[in-house]
Amino acid sequence: MTVAVIIVAAGRGTRAGAGEPKQWRDLGGQSVLARSLGAFAGVGRMVLVLHPDDMARGVAEFGGKVTLVAGGETRSQSVRNALELLDQSDVSRVLIHDGARPLVSRALITRVLTALGTAPAAAPALAVTDALWQGAAGAVTGTQNRHGLYRAQTPQGFHFDAILAAHRAHPEGGADDVELARRAGLAVAIVAGEEDNLKLTFAADFARAERILGAKMDVRTGNGYDVHAFCAGDHVWLCGVRVPHGRGLLGHSDADVGMHALTDALYGALAAGDIGRHFPPSDPQWKGAASHIFLSHAAALVRERGYRIANADVTLVCEHPKIAPHAPEMADVLANIMGICRDRVSVKATTSERLGFTGREEGIAALATATLVSA
């Protein structure tokens, strides 16, 4: 079974209030669209449908990671554009999801895919439990029996050939893809939906989504500490920057004490040991290695385990060299290696008031703290 995931995000979201379209707005440090895409990471081939005006932005943010398709005037046309793109491929199952549902869980996605093993179509839904009224002019005019009624959600899953044929047979479109599937005679299985899988429609929905994220968010903090002694040399490497100095730093690698402390902070937040566990000093291949290799590995492990780096703070402890002139560049380098925004990285320095080994200028110490949040 080969799966494709179509994320539909070609609308303008005018009901969500003023500002940019809702799929591009920030939600807990990531765009709504980035969260929707991330929910399906590893499920299958990703196809993202965007408004033609957003294609350049899509290339800049997601190019190389997903296949981009320009949407049509209606949602159904947008979905069909994506389906036609996948025609003649090896895709046998397809999930179609609203880009404005960023909190979909992997468990729900799995339920839909599992249901496709015995049905040509499946979709999540929630049974209606509230009383239903009919109304006009601000007054109740009647009631509606809620028995057998459901609130539809996405992702809606289909056998690929069947849903493509349904779209081709009904170019006029429908409220959603399930409606078109039923017009084509397909049986649609209902799987359990989730209250948290809300569709962001109005401005107030963002506040609710933030509360849900806050309740679910896993926050981790790690600390790192490292020391390197001075030795003969004419420069030191600190936080990825070559700083001229009358001495060097002694170490198995390039002895970048700041980057080592930060790397250990990331590993610590993941409960994944320290640099020595991942890059043993007994292994000659790491002799003189550039420390960005270690930090890159730790940052990749953070992403692999479903987290993002919310903040990184490094303090260098030394009398000399002076750090302040180089601190902005150091922060830039660290942010680039970790793949995060510059304003999430701090590099600063202090002295030990001439006390201890740093005060005697025998070496440099570094402390680092990193905070991770679940992505």
pTM: 0.64
Q: Residue 204: which CATH number? A: 3.90.550.10
Based on its alpha-carbon atoms, the radius of gyration of the chain, rounded to whole angstroms, reads 27
- Residues 184 and 125 reside in one and the same domain: yes
CATH number, residue 324: 3.30.1330.50
Q: Which of 14-18, 30-34, 135-139, 286-290 has the lowest mean pLDDT?
A: 14-18
How many residues comprise the chain? 375
Q: Label residue 108 by pLDDT band (50, 70, 90).
A: very high
- Cis (ω within 30 of 0) for the bond into 281? no
**pLDDT computed for residue 13 by the predictor:** 66
The verdict on 151 and 39 lying in the same domain is yes
Range name among 209-218, 294-303, 320-329, 335-344 with the lowest pLDDT average: 209-218
Domain match, 267 and 345 both: yes
Residues 28 and 151 in one domain: yes
The pLDDT, as a whole number, for residue 215 is 73
pLDDT at 16 over 80: no
- Do 50 and 122 share a domain, yes or no? yes
Contact at 8 Å (CB) between 184 and 169?
A: yes
- pLDDT digit string (tens) for 75-105? 999 999 999 999 999 999 999 999 999 999 9
State the DSSP H helix or E strand holding residue 255, giving kind and residue range, or none if neither.
none
For 107, counting Cβ atoms within 10 Å of its Cβ (0-12 exposed, 13-18 middle, 19+ buried), the class is exposed
Q: How confident is the model at residue 279 (pLDDT cuts 50, 70, 90)?
A: very high
The pLDDT of residue 14: 64
Residues 189 and 319 in one domain: no
Determine the structural domain holding residue 290 and report its residue range.
Answer: 219-374
Tally of domains in the chain: 2
User: What percent of the chain is predicted at pLDDT more than 70?
Assistant: 98
